Structure 1
């Protein structure tokens, strides 16, 4: 038998109820449906302030001050409401030096500012917006004052459940965030915009976790941070281009400090990093198997140490440094002393300008791989028996498209980290033609949509979320889109080869 709700076992929040299948939360449609079926009286503030007709303005002002309400209703001799007096109206009239003894009915908003308690709430919200009002006076079936409906109160029943859900994304764990992603895609929203929106929410979560850990460490006797710092979000998270199940790619930039304080500083930030990565893991972001996290000293450095490390990567140009650069060069500073992130960005661009062969090496890693198209333009599956009839969209499309645009952007001193931001900057600088740039942006959107649909299908089927797209299930339109995408990447390879003076493999 089901257990009755109690303090220990509360009833489930209906705004977060999963849709049939148990995967996609119905918070958005259920909140909207609830709002559409509510009446004005259900959302209005009860027991409104009322002044009788004939009351001088000074008396109405005193009533509003006592009630701390934004408006009061005006009633006629028979007790029925005849209008609404808003505080902003009083301010406006005071500017024109209206006599305080003026009767309220001379300056009030008339019956047009009233609405019946039984009217649909959504119609009231539409009226408030359309007529530019802050509030409506609510009357009962007899026309007597019954409440006050503000614009905030009219919209809260719809927005509060959504806001509550968004505020909890990341805190309960992976399922909520995946559900939000899925709900937005099911609603037909642009996957690129979904990525950007959820990326911003993840930034807010990271900043909130960081602040909370600093407070908790202070309360536990660790004291305040010994130097200012900011969190680095790297890889797809830094670009705001993550898909359904991103792991952690993070680091820290610390303010420079004297060498003699290294033991103290490092001790504090080791503890912070351990708490931070554990908190992210609890919020649904798995620990990075490659240890690209603040717990690794490679990714936790002062601003001067970061400059030296990037310069060393550029000088050595080893395979390891190239792999790290693919993750690091998309960094975004989140929370705290974000100006340290901008200082590091300047340092990176200086190194790239001083070490042109570094960018050439980074570009070559993407230029040298052929696109998966046959001699006659047909799509080719992955080598080997396991994925022979599939294409790895991340390996074959996302990595070269994002990587080549990245290196061209760095070559041209562009600060942006998002792929489309970088592309727009390259077009504006004349480094990529308008026509080709628009085509690349369209291809990026198509690729994002394909990967999002594939991962959503994996999620709903209970499979491990992956990047392999089965060729057998593609329609003719999708095949043509993929062929065009890979041809665009091939053209981009040639542009990069020409830019960096390399050869195609």
Structure 2
């Protein structure tokens, strides 16, 4: 279904020539998409919403390149790819989204220090642009402006080797973040090469699978032993449901780990489910019910409270149980039971590969 208002706003985003104008368009698209949420099929809504996020982020990068040129820094000295991680990498952003980003660039043949400084300064402007446009920085500092996440291809190779050789909790978390990486601007071939390094290292470090399994199963679904929904007990969110970490993330993590084991490079959860069927790791029947459950969780996550503070769009992933109809509650419980089933399947399949 074509949406002429959204298409017009996308066109304006693509020609915005300053951050203030881009912010105004982001606000307009936010209001427009929020109004459409109750009426659109969730997969279509999610696809269109993430297309908008990509457009805003890509334009922010272009404006940052122009600012670097205006400051006398020139154009990018070597090809690069601007990467999104987290829900952005998976094309599963909500109306609000923080920044999880990185950069990979071609190894320079000379002046490597100057090249590194260029990208450091460029990424600082990009992060500032996105913050002014309403995207708060990642609390974990997984940001392109962090020198640890802005590296040449060979530097990324060394970084991945380090993480694979020292499977501490943080290193494993970072490796799972890389698995969700997607190029939103620049040379996509650099991401392909980065993923080549990632998957070749996976083959040489089977012990990592055990660590990834531990990480994958740490978030439990919010369904009690007797089938009751487990609500937040304390604080301002008391009585609400943690849709993000108690429903959505357990399914995302499980499908991601199954996908990593067979070298699937797609990053969206639904695409990963489809590829797992092709790889013979999920039956067509299981894939259908997992997809259906995941769509329900996507819609509920899109419904989580949006808060705007200091000009930033924020979302804590909590949903008031009062917003759920009986039908929605029943669908959520069914999806959570499937989430538990999926976690058991992931444990069984992964342990089978380790023994």
TM-score range, shorter chain: 0.7 to 0.9
User: How far does the alpha carbon of each residue in 1:26-71 deviate from its partner, in whole angstroms, 9 at most, with x for none?
Assistant: xx6xxxxxxxxxxxxxxxxxxxxxxxxxxxxxxxxxxxxxxxxxxx
Are the aligned partners of 2:98 and 2:314 in contact in 1 as well (CA < 8 Å)? no
Is the Cα contact below 8 Å between 1:235 and 1:326 reproduced in 2?
no
Query: Where does structure 2 lack aligned partners over 5 or more consecutive residues?
Result: 14-20
Indicate how the Cα distance of structure 1 residues 163 and 192 shifts in structure 2: closer, same or farther if over 3 A, else same.
closer
Task: Verify: 1:292 aligned to 2:136, yes or no.
Answer: no
Q: State the partner residue of 1:247.
A: 98
| Separation in structure 1 between the aligned mates of residue 112 and residue 226 of structure 2, nearest angstrom | 61
Instruction: Give me the whole-angstrom Cα distance separating, in 1, the residues matched to 2:158 and 2:48.
Output: 34
Question: Does residue 101 of structure 2 align to residue 257 of structure 1?
Answer: no
Cα RMSD after superposing both structures = 2.4
Deviation at 1:449, TM superposition (A): 1.1
Structure 1 counterpart of 2:252, from 380, 396, 402: 402
CA contact (8 A) 1:192 1:241 kept: no
Q: Which runs of 5+ in 1 are unaligned?
A: 1-27, 29-158
State the 1:246 CA deviation. Answer: 0.4
Matches within 5 A, 1:293-312: 293-312=143-162
Give distance in 2, aligned partners of 1:202 and 1:408: 27
- Among candidates 215, 223, 247, match of residue 74 of structure 2: 223
1:166 lines up with 2:24 in the alignment: no
Moved more, 193-202 or 230-239: 193-202
Deviating above 4 A after TM superposition, structure 1's stretches of 4 or more consecutive aligned residues are: 383-388
Query: C-alpha distance in 2, partners of 1:319/1:248?
Result: 22
Q: Which whole-Å CA distance do the structure 2 matches of 1:221 and 1:294 have between them?
A: 21
Q: How does 1:445-460 map to 2 (within 5 A)?
A: 445-455=295-305
Aligned residues: 338
Measured in 2, the distance between the counterparts of 1:269 and 1:335 equals 14
Could you tell me how far apart the structure 1 residues matched to 2:295 and 2:92 are? Answer: 11
1:371 and 1:208, CA in 2 relative to 1: closer, same or farther beyond 3 A?
Answer: closer
Tell me, yes or no, if the aligned pair for 1:230 and 1:254 is still in contact at 8 Å: yes
Kindly indicate whether the alpha-carbon contact (under 8 Å) linking 1:244 and 1:455 is maintained by their aligned counterparts in 2.
Answer: no
User: 1:432-451 residue pairs with structure 2 within 5 A?
Assistant: 432-451=282-301
Could you report, residue by residue, the CA deviation over 1:332-379 in whole angstroms, capped at 9, with x for unpaired residues?
Answer: 112222210111122212122222222331222232444332332222
CA distance in 1, matches of 2:236, 2:6: 42
The alpha carbon displacement at 1:386 in A equals 5.6
Q: Report the secondary structure of 1:347's partner residue.
A: helix
- Residue in structure 2 matched with residue 214 of structure 1 by the alignment: 65
Corresponding residue for residue 209 of structure 2: 359
| Superposition deviation, residue 198 in structure 1 | 2.3
CA distance in 2, matches of 1:293, 1:270: 11
**Higher helix fraction (1 or 2):** 2
What is the distance in 2 between the residues matched to 1:426 and 1:222? 46
1:155 maps to: none
Displacement after TM superposition at 1:212 (Å): 3.4
Structure showing greater Rg: 1
Displacement of 1:325 in angstroms is 3.3
Q: Of the two structures, which has the highest relative contact order with CA contacts closer than 8 Å and spacing of 6 or more? A: 2
Does the residue aligned with 2:22 lie in a helix, a strand or coil?
Answer: coil
User: Structure 2 residue aligned with 1:238, among 89, 114, 122?
Assistant: 89
Q: Which residue of 2 aligns with 1:175?
A: 27
